[in-house]
Structure formats: C-alpha cells, structure tokens
Amino acid sequence: MVKRANPTRQRLAALGLLGVPLLTYPLLSLPGGEVAGIPATYLYLFGIWAGLIALAAWVAERRGS
Amino acid sequence: MLSGWFIAIVATAYLGLLFAVARFGDARADAGKSIISANVYALSLAVYCTSWTFYGSVGRATSGGLSFLTIYLGPTLMLLCVGVIIKMIRISKAQRITSIADFIASRYGKSQLLAGMVTVIAVIGVVPYIALQLKAMAASVDVLLDHSGSSVEVWGLDSTFLMAVVLAFFSILFGTRHLDATERHEGMVAAVAFESVVKIVAFMAVGLFVTYGMYGGLGDLFLRAAESPELGRLLQLDSSRAGTWTALIVLSGLAIIFLPRQFQIIVVENVDESHLKRAVWLFPLYLLLINIFVLPLALGGLLHFGGQGVNPDTFVLTLPLARGAEALALLAFIGGLSAATGMVIVETIALSTMVCNDLVMPILLRSTGKFVEKRNDLSGLLIGIRRAAIALILLLGYIYFRAAGEAYALVGIGLISFAAVAQFAPAMFGGMYWKQGTRAGAVAGLLSGFVVWLYTLLLPSFAKSGWMPSGFVENGLFGIGWLKAQALFGLSGLDEISHCLWWSMLANIGAYVAVSLNSRPDAVEASQAERFVDVFRFDARNTEARLWRGKASPDALVQLLERFLGAARARQQLATYASSRRATDWRSLPADADFVQFAEAELAGAIGSASARVMVASVAQEEDLGLEEVLDILDEATQVRAHSRELEAKQQELEAATAELREANERLRELDRMKDDFISTVTHELRTPLTSIRALSEMLHEDPRLELAARTRFLSIIVNEAERLTRLINQILDMAKLESGRAEWTTGEVDLGEVARESMASVEQLFREKDVALSGDIPESGPVVLADRDRLTQVMINLLSNAVKFVPGGEGKVHVKLGTAAGLVRVEVRDNGPGLTAEESSVIFEKFRQGGNTMTDKPQGTGLGLPISRQIVEYFGGNLWVESAPGAGANFIFTVPLPAPEE
Amino acid sequence: MSKKILIVDDEPNIVISLEFLMKKEGFEIAVACDGEEALAKEASFRPDLILLDVMMPKKSGFEVCEALRADPAKAGLLIVMLTAKGRDTEVAKGLAIGADAYVTKPFSTKDLVARVKTMLGVA
C-alpha cells in the first residue's frame, strides 16, 4: 500500500543527478578546440545546460504528469 | 546628453513604475484575483540575479573566464530537486513558517536560541551583500555622471543614501502590509518579477549591441580574443581549478534556497506548489539567457578598453557609452538598478521579519515582560519593530558601503555571503530528513560552521581590507602555522572559498551529527521532528491533540491573539477557525489542545514559532508530557498509521465483498420477486377455473329443480374446467421440474421424422373436428437425433395444437416441414392464422402469456405450453422460435442438433 | 323496476355462472368481456352496479374503475371488483381507486348475492 513516489519529481531529480557529472570535472575537460570560431568548452557548457533545461521543461510540462 | 538631473528623473520614474506594479499586485490580491501565476513565480526567483550578476559577472569573467557560470549551474541543478523544495514548502505551510530562522528554530523544538543564531548569521552574512548593491548603484551613477561631467546633490546628501531611503520606503510599504508574515506580499513579488524582466532585457540588449554592433558576432569576438595570449586564457577552462568549480556549484546550489531572500520568494511567497513545475525550467532558462553574453561582454570590454584601467565591473555601462549609445546605457543603468533594488527589497523584508521575530521579540518578551503585558494591542508595536528593522538594515548596509569603499571586504562579499548561508544546510536538510537530529546538534553545527566561516573567510577579508592585522592569515593565530586562516592544518592549494566551504562543512556536519547522536531531544523537539520529517504522512488530526495536555483559558488565549494580531484580525481568524470546527461561534469551543494549537499557529505567523510558544506557555498551564510519553505517542501514531493503512486495505476488501454481497442480495431479491410474481400468476390461473366450478356447483346444489338443459350445460362446464385445472397443475409441475433440473430424461436415438408423423396422427381428430387441413413434408426415415422421444413428441403436439387453435375453421391450413442443415434438424410448423406482432412473438414464450384474445378457446390454453417446449428443445441443445407477422400466419420453428458424426 | 347489473369478465364460464346467478335473483343483466366493452356497455346500459374483473385484456378492471370514478355524474354507481389475485396490495389498490367492494375468486355465490343485494338496498 506504499504510495508510489511522484514520478515527475523523480524524473526531475534524476535529471539533476545526471547534470552533476556532465557539468563538472573530469568530463568538463573533454571538449577542446573550437567550432566555427567559438570555443568548444563554451558550446559544451551552454549546450548541456540548455539540454537539461529542455528535458526538465518536457518532463515538468508534459500532460498528465 | 545624460545630465545628473535627467538620470535622477529617470531613476525616480522607474521606481515610481515599480510602486505602481506593486500596488497593482496588492490590489489584485486584495480583490482575490491574484496575478501570481507560475510564470510570475518563476520570474520572481530571478531576484537571485543581483547587481553582482548584472555588473559583477562581467568583471569575474575578465579574470576567471567561464568560472562565473558555476554560480548559475548550481541553482539549475538544485531546482531539479523539486521534491526537497516541495517538502520545505509543505512544512512551512503546515507550521506557519515565516523565515529560514523560523524554519530551523521550529524544527528543533521552537528554540529561541537557534532562531537568534540563524538570524545573527544571516544578518552578518547578508548586510554586506546589501552594501554591495548600494555600491553597484553608486558606481553606475558615477559612471553615467563621469560621462556627462555633472553631479547631483540634494541637501548635501549623496544619491546612494537617497536611493537607500527610497528602497526602505518601498520595503516598508509593500513588505509590512500584513502583520502575519506568512501572508504573502503579492505586490512585492509582482514588482520583483517585473524587475527580472527589465534586467534580462537590458542585459541582453547590451550583449547584442556589443557582440553584433561593436564586433562581428560571437565568432569574431572569440577569434580576436584567441589572438591575445592574455585573453585566450579566458576561453579555456583551467582544470587545475576543478575543485573550485565543483565547490562553487555546491555553494550556489545551497544559496538558491538558503539565502533569506530566496527562502522568502521560493517558500514563503509560494502560492501554489504546482508553480514549481514552471520554475524548475523557466528560472534556469532565465539564468542561461542572462549569461550567454557575459563572456563576450568581458572580452569586448578587454579588447576595447585594453590598458585604459576601466573597471571591468562597469563594462555593461561603459561599452555602450564608449560608442555613444546613451539610450542603451540608460537602459543598462535601469537594468542594474532593477537588479540591485529587487535584491535589497526582498532581502530587507526577509531579514526584518527574522530580526523582529527572532531577536527583538524574545528580548522584549523577556526583559520587559511587564511593559508588554500592560499594553493592550501589540500588533502596532510589531509592525513598528519590523519597519524599524528594515530601516536599520538598510542603514547598516549604507554604513558598511561607506566604510568599506573599494575594500576587498565588499567586492568579494557575494561568495562570502553564499558561504555564510550554506552553514544552514546541515541543520535544514538534517531537520527535514533525519528525525534524530537534535537542537544541541544543530546549535553545535551552526556554531562550528559559523566560527570556521568567520575565521577562514570573513575576517581574512577584513584583514585584506586593512581593517585588522593580517597576522592570523599570514602566520596563523598566535603564530601557530597550522592555524593560518586560509590554509588550516596546512591545507593549501585551494582558493579561499573552497577552503572555507570544505572546512566549515566538515566542522558543521561533524558537530551536528556527532552532537545529535550523543544528545536526547526534549518532548517538543521529538514531536516537531516527526511533524517535519513525516510532513507528507503526519496525521495531524489524530496526533496533534494528544501532543498537548494541560489547562488553558480560552479568554486568555483570545486576549493573546487580540494583542498580537490586532482585535479585528484576531476576530476574523477566530471566526474562520470556529467554522472549520463547525461551530457558529468560537466562544462555544472548549480551550482544548486543538484550540491551543490554533492559537499558537496564528501567533507563530505573526511573531515566529519560538516566541509564539513562549507566549502560549505564559497563559496556558501545559502539563509536561516528558520525552518518553511523547515518543510513545509518536510511535503509536506511526503504528496507527501502519494499522490504518492495513485497515484501509481491509476496508477496501470489505467494501468489495459488501458490493458483491449486495449484488447477490439484489439478484436473490429479483429472483424472489419473480417467484412471488410467478406464484401470484399461478394462483390466478388456478382460481379462475375454480371460480366457475364453485359457482356452478353451488347453484346446482342450491336449486335441485334446475332445468335439465341448464343442468347439463353447467355440468359440462364443470367437467371442462376441472380438466383445465388438472392440465394446468400437471404443466405447472412439469415446468417446475424442468426449471429445477429435476426432470427425468430418457435419452436415446430418436427418429424425428417418425416423431413428427406420430404427433400429426395423434392430433388428426382435433384438426378434423375444426376442419383444418394438415399436411407434411417429412423424409421417409430420419433424421436421427439423441433426445427424449416422449418429450419431443410433447413439443410437436403442443405446436400442432397451438396451430389448430389459432387458424380459422374451414379454411385453416397447417403445414409441417422437416429438413437438415448445418448439423441441425429443423422442424417447421406453419399455419395461416392471424399471425403475431413482433412483441407478441417474444411474449408468447413467457409463462402464462397467451397470444391473442381467444375468448372461445381460452380454457384450452394454460400459457405454459410454449415455455415448456422451449425448455425441452433447449435442453437438447436446440432452439425454438417463431417467425411471423400480423396477417401472414405464424411459422414455429425448432431445431435439434444432429449427433456429431463418428470418426 | 328491477336493478341493473353489468357483469364484466373475460372468462366466458364465469360470465355464464354470474349471469345465471344474478338473473335468478331478478336483476336485469348485461355482460362485457373486456375493459373497453365494459365502458361502452356502462354508457348504454346504465347499470346500478358493476361486477368487474381485474385481469382483463385491453383495459384492466382498475383502469375501468378509475375511468368510471373520474365522472362525477356516475357517483352513485356501485362497483364490485372481482379478482383471482388475492394479495393485500391489490385489495388496497382496488379500494383506493374507488371500488365499493372487493371480492376474491372463487367466491361463495350466497355471500356474493347477499352482498350485492345489501349494496343495492333490495334485501
């Protein structure tokens, strides 16, 4: 009879946990060089960040969640 | 040309607009049409982005490259832990929490000591941060004035002081509208959300201008920067600073919920938990957008002003000005103003509540108890204290700003503040998830963490500013080497923030856990621990009442409420409470545990949980329950909860069983009703012939001299009716046997053709009497089925006698046809009688329902022939039905399956 | 002038016996074998009393009784309901809609005659 934990909250928390290794070292030292004149690190950080936000928006705003 | 007066007018107009927005928000809230939507809530969270973000990020980027991003990545990750934040909100709503100090104090037994400690730490940590905002405002005004070469002075007071006064005025106006601090300040939230929009628009406008107006886009900027080794360094992350990177993410993640203003906005001002769903991504998106152009601005500034000694913290203003874009610079100035004012307003409101409830009230209640008792209405005093606290905090900020000047102690204060409020984390998280955490543990942890923070971060910043000797930083306290403030125990190679964070957290968490494990909570703590940790499961209704025992006078409690809430509000709350207990008037309520709880909660909303507890205790004689008893009650509550879950499961089973039972009962009742109807019908059918028999017999008996003709007629009727009665009884018994399954069947191989011919022969006489033609279309032999020969004969005869009954004499025709198809034998008895309507076609198979109005032939039928026939045919796996239409005769058809061919 | 009785029943043998019984007592008789015919006969024959079966095709005795009682001009008409269903609810229903008496089948001829005479005041 234990009530199931809220799946939306769990998915969001999982996203947060996923974000920690992606946005810290040592993974952060992977991107190097540049793409179209823009430093890869800059693109990587903002890219991962935007990806997390997009996923969070999808999880949080989904109907029925 | 941006003259001083013009800037002053623009700034004043902007603040006026802010007032209007706040007033609108409050007016809408008062009208019950809140404008606080999920989007407004998410935007108001961006009060996190102060002038330290607006101006300071660019400055940080000029020296640290991308490392400024950590301050925004931390909050993004923290916010994804929605469950933690929702739990904080839920607890705060349930406990009428007014501030982060109140939260911690309430959890650990409504401790005034803890409330005071948290407040002191918050004030020490945050007042310099307020000073930083004032400094940023002053600096931005200076930049604009420098540019125009003018200055503004009003009555000899500087613009920053005037600004501080206006902000104090704003905070007082929109932050202390209600006495009840748990009441939301919707106007203030609306204004903050509005400011968030202004600052992001302003910042991005400058970013776009510099990136695409002054340079050829991102790629161009980065390319140019890469050419210079000095700037190229900023484009790469320095992996030797990996520890700092992680530490800053942790620190800012904690700051986003523990900074007093963030707690205020996220928790206290939350209208609806579901708003978090929007905030969880919209706020991080806001952070991302406001940060995209930080590095480009830093690079642009460095490239443009290289070697001119322009303060990088002012690039947001100086870059547009350098290109003569004065309007854009003015927009940037307004954006910076938004960032600073938003922070100052919310922070002072949050701090003033803490100072009033957790520092001033306890002192006031203790030292001047008599003075307080004498005064009747204290609500005015409370509001006054809060307003004074706002003014005082801003004044302190202003003084700090004036005293610090360009000192390091001000410039670096952003992260120092973060590190201060991070000290709340162990007591907060422990309090929410660990029931064993005790007040002694929380006090020890906070104190240790605070001392380490003070020693390793704040005091060294003072030393760096030259306000105190720096010996303890350079050589260690008393010259002891391993006490060097920023290399404790020889831990070096870290930046000062990570160094402080790790040592203070070690001390804080270590002391909190160790002391908690070695101390026992008191009764209040134990019950509060339960209420916090199990907030989603705590059965308030059944447990609260048992956790308080004592005597209280309702009058004293009401008096208390009136004094602290004001008479009008107290009455209003009492009325609401009374109706929640289904009483028309609070005076009819007993001063029981529930009433005391209500009074304490109301007071807590106004003066904080710790002071509320003291005040309630002063008028109610509470019996000391003792820890053991409280733990027993809580254990019991836990058990009850487990039991009630079991009970719920049992109850569901029971409900299901009951539903089944009810259904079965319903079926039985239906059967009973059918049986009742059946008996009633049978009775009617039996009484009808009996009536004629009795009446005629009595007449014959009474009058022996009856005419012979009448006599004969009567006797023949009596004989007929008696026969009818006998037939009826036989058929009823037959039907009963068939229905109950007790009929005897002699199953064997039956030649259906033979059965048909024999049946036709046996009814020949009937047909001849009525002059009805009977013909057949039957094979010489077969088909053979497995059935009871006598029963099938009964069906055939029944169908034939029905047919002859309904066809007209003389021209009537009945035809029997027998054939096989699809594994079935099909027998048809077709007549040319009046036919049946669709309704009659189904009704005639019901018991005692006869077709047509057969006045003359009535005694012939019992209304059971067809139902019995159908039962028989169905017993052998066949069907019996009629195909007919009015005026077209009737065709009764029955089928019997052929035996399966042997393999 | 003799009193007039209308006999209504769908069972021919019961009609025969009732008709004989009442004629012998000197009443003037008409018969009907369903509800609709009963109403028609009532209008033309103008009986003083109706012996009315309940279970009949077309219109039940209850319906006939209700229709007759709805006409204030026929307030003096006596109605005796006859039924083979002896349940209490039916008796109650018959009396509730305005029948003057309720007789269960099979009935005693003596009792019925006595009752009819009493009601018609010819005893």
* Range from B219-228, B236-245, B537-546, B814-823 carrying the lowest mean pLDDT: B537-546
Q: From CA B473, how far away is CA B453, in angstroms rounded?
A: 13
Residue whose C-alpha is closest to residue A11's, from A49, A47, A56: A56
Q: What is the mean pLDDT of chain B?
A: 84
Percent of chain B past pLDDT 70, that is, above it, reads: 91
Please state, in angstroms and rounded to a whole number, the distance separating the CA atoms of residues B686 and B597: 76
**Block residue for tokens 């870059």:** B319
Q: Which of residues 645-674 of B touch A (CB under 8 A)?
A: 645-646, 648-649
As for the ipTM of the complex, it is 0.93
- pLDDT the model gives residue B736: 80
Question: Mean pLDDT, to the nearest integer, of B141-152?
Answer: 74
What is the length of chain B?
Answer: 903
Least confident of B55-59, B122-126, B276-280, B627-631: B627-631
The DSSP secondary structure of B329-384, one letter per residue, reads HHHHHHHHHHHHHHHHHHHHHHHHHHIIIIIIHHHHHHHTHHHHHH-S--HHHHHH
Report residue B334 as tokens.
Answer: 């307004």
Q: B288 and A24 in contact by Cβ < 8 A? A: no
Q: If you measure CA to CA, which chain A residue comes closest to B224?
A: A37
Give the model's confidence band at B540: pLDDT under 50 very low, under 70 low, under 90 confident, else very high: low
- Which residue of B lies nearest to C89 if distances are taken between CA atoms? B680
Q: Using CA atoms, how far apart are residues B733 and B736, in angstroms rounded to an integer?
A: 5
Identify the bridge partners of residue B825 per DSSP, sorted by sequence position: B820, B896
Please give the Cα distance from B416 to B403 (Å, whole number): 18
| Mean pLDDT, rounded, for B570-591 | 81
Contacts of B326 (CB under 8 A, 6+ apart): B1, B2, B320
Residue with tokens 């009443």: C27
pLDDT of residue B42: 95
Q: Are the beta carbons of B81 and A60 separated by less than 8 Å?
A: no
Nearest by CB: B219 against A20, A29, A37: A37
Torsion, Cα B225 B227 B229 B234, to 10 degrees, reads: 20
Whether the predicted pLDDT of B8 surpasses 90: no
Contacting residues of A for B645, CB less than 8 Å apart: 1
Q: Give the chain B residue whose CA is nearest to the CA of A18.
A: B77
Closest Cα to residue C2, out of C22, C26, C23, C20? C26
Chains B and C touch (3+ CB pairs under 8 A): yes
Residue % of chain B over a pLDDT of 90: 28
Min mean pLDDT across B96-105, B233-242, B540-549 is at B540-549
For residue B622, the 8-state DSSP code is E
Averaged pLDDT, B734-748: 79
Chains with 3 or more CB pairs under 8 A to chain C: B
Chain B neighbors of A54, CB-CB under 8 A: 281
- Asked if the model's pLDDT at residue B851 lies above 70, the reply is no
Q: Which pair of tokens denotes residue B831?
A: 């007549």
Q: What is the per-residue pLDDT for B685?
A: 80
Q: Is the pLDDT of residue B122 over 90?
A: yes
Residue B811 has pLDDT above 80, yes or no: yes
Give contacts of B713 with chain C, Cβ < 8 Å.
16
Q: Are B97 and B103 in contact (CB under 8 A)?
A: yes
Nearest residue of chain B to residue C85 (CA atoms): B684
Of the pLDDT bands very low, low, confident and very high (cuts 50, 70, 90), residue B298 is very high
Residue B643 has pLDDT above 50, yes or no: yes
Does B246 contact A28 at a Cβ distance shorter than 8 Å? no
**Segments of B229-336 assigned E as strands:** none
Q: Is B69 on the interface with A (CB under 8 A)?
A: yes
Mean pLDDT over C24-37 rounds to: 88
Mean of pLDDT over chain C: 85
Three-state secondary structure of chain C:
CCCEEEEECCCHHHHHHHHHHHHHCCCEEEEECCHHHHHHHHHHHCCCEEEEECCCCCCCHHHHHHHHHCCHHHCCCEEEEEECCCCHHHHHHHHHCCCCEEEECCCCHHHHHHHHHHHHCCC
Q: Which residue of C has its CA nearest to B695?
A: C109
* Rounded distance between C-alpha atoms, residue B680 and residue B674, angstroms: 10
Single-letter amino acid, residue B230: E
Selection from B251, B282, B256 nearest residue B267 by Cα: B256
Contact (CB, 8 A) for B125 and B400 = no
Q: Which domains does chain B have, with CATH numbers?
A: 4-152+182-343 (no CATH), 539-624 (no CATH), 629-736 (1.10.287.130), 745-897 (3.30.565.10)
- Listed residue (B423, B270, B261) closest to B344, CA to CA: B261
Determine the average pLDDT of the residues in C57-80: 85
Interchain CB contact of A48 with B (< 8 Å): no
Q: Which two tokens stand for residue C115?
A: 């009752």
- Residue B674's CB: how many other CB atoms inside 10 A? 10
Q: Is residue B393 within 8 Å of B351, Cβ to Cβ?
A: yes
Mean pLDDT confidence for B245-250: 92
pLDDT interval class at B539 (50, 70, 90): low
How does pLDDT run across C85-119, given as a tens digit for each residue? 766 677 777 777 888 888 888 888 889 999 998 98
Name the CA radius of gyration of chain C, rounded.
13
Q: Are strands C49-53 and C78-83 parallel, antiparallel or unpaired?
A: parallel
Can you give the pLDDT at residue B183? 67
In this model, does residue B893 exceed pLDDT 80?
A: yes
What tens digit of pLDDT does each residue of B172-199 get?
Answer: 887 887 666 556 788 899 999 999 999 9
Range with the poorest average pLDDT among B48-57, B447-456, B823-832 = B823-832
**Which of A16, A29, A42 is facing B77, going by the closest CB pair?**
A16
The C-alpha R_g of chain A, in whole angstroms, comes to 16
* Secondary structure (DSSP) of B169-181: HHHHHHHSS-S-T
Are chains A and C touching, using the cut-off of 8 Å on CB pairs and a minimum of 3 such pairs?
no
CA–CA–CA angle B309, B310, B313 (5° rounding): 130
Count of beta carbons in the 10 Å neighbourhood of residue B306: 11
State which amino acid sits at residue B411.
Answer: V
Q: Which residues contact B288 (CB under 8 A, 6 or more apart)?
A: A46, A49, A50, A53, B72, B76
The residue with greater pLDDT, B353 or B413, is B353
- Distance, CA of B29 to CA of C35 (rounded, Å): 74
Range of the domain at C116: 4-120
Q: Is the pLDDT of residue B876 over 50?
A: yes
Residue B691 to residue C106: CA distance in whole angstroms: 4
Instruction: Determine, for residues A53 and B285 on separate chains, whether the beta-carbon distance falls below 8 Å.
Output: yes
Instruction: Give residue B678's pLDDT.
Output: 74
Query: Does position B859 have pLDDT exceeding 50, yes or no?
Result: no
Q: Is the pLDDT of residue B292 over 90?
A: yes
**What is the pLDDT at residue B402?**
85
Distance from the first to the final alpha carbon of chain B? 112
Query: Poorest-confidence range of B309-323, B532-546, B807-821?
Result: B532-546
B38 touches chain A (CB under 8 A): no
**Given an 8 Å threshold on Cβ–Cβ distance, is B281 in contact with A53?**
yes
pLDDT computed for residue B761 by the predictor: 85
H/E element holding B893? strand B890-897
Q: Tokens 């701090």 label which residue?
A: B351
Range in B68-77, B247-256, B296-305, B699-708 with the lowest mean pLDDT: B699-708
Average pLDDT over residues C27-35: 88
pLDDT at B826: 86
Q: Which residues 835-874 on chain B approach chain C with CB closer than 8 angstroms? A: 853, 855-856, 858-859
- Out of B66, B77, B83, name the one closest to residue A19 (CB): B77
pLDDT at res. B376: 65
User: From C58, which residue of chain B is nearest by alpha-carbon distance?
Assistant: B853
CATH number, domain containing residue C57: 3.40.50.2300
Residue B747 has pLDDT above 70, yes or no: yes
Tokens representing residue B697 in the block? 């017999």
Q: How far is A7 from chain B (nearest CA, A)?
A: 10
Decide if B589 contacts B554 (C-beta within 8 A).
yes
**B695 in contact with C, Cβ within 8 Å:** yes
Q: What is the pLDDT of residue B854?
A: 41
* 3-state secondary structure (DSSP) of residue B826: strand
The C-alpha atoms of residue B176 and residue B155 are separated, in whole angstroms, by 29
Taking residues B108-130, what's their average pLDDT? 92
User: What ranges make up the beta strands (E) of B465-577?
Assistant: 550-552
Least Cα distance to B565 among B579, B580, B575 occurs for B575
Identify the H or E element spanning B895.
strand B890-897
- The band of B853, judged by pLDDT with boundaries at 50, 70 and 90, is very low
Residue that wins the pLDDT comparison between B357 and B444:
B444
pLDDT digits (tens, 9 = 90+) for B767-798: 888 888 888 888 877 788 888 888 888 888 88
Q: Considering its fold, how many domains does chain C have in total?
A: 1
R_g over Cα of chain B: 48
Contact list in A for residue B649 (CB cut-off 8 A) is 1
User: Sorting pLDDT into bands at 50, 70 and 90, what band is B903?
Assistant: very low
Euclidean distance between CA atoms B825 and B782, whole angstroms: 10
Interface check for B71 against chain A (CB to CB < 8 A): the answer is no
Per-residue model confidence (pLDDT) at position B411: 63
pLDDT higher than 60, residue A4: no
> What would the mean pLDDT of A36-60 be, rounded to a whole number?
91
DSSP reduced 3-state for B155: coil
What is the nearest CA distance from A17 to chain B, expressed in angstroms? Answer: 8
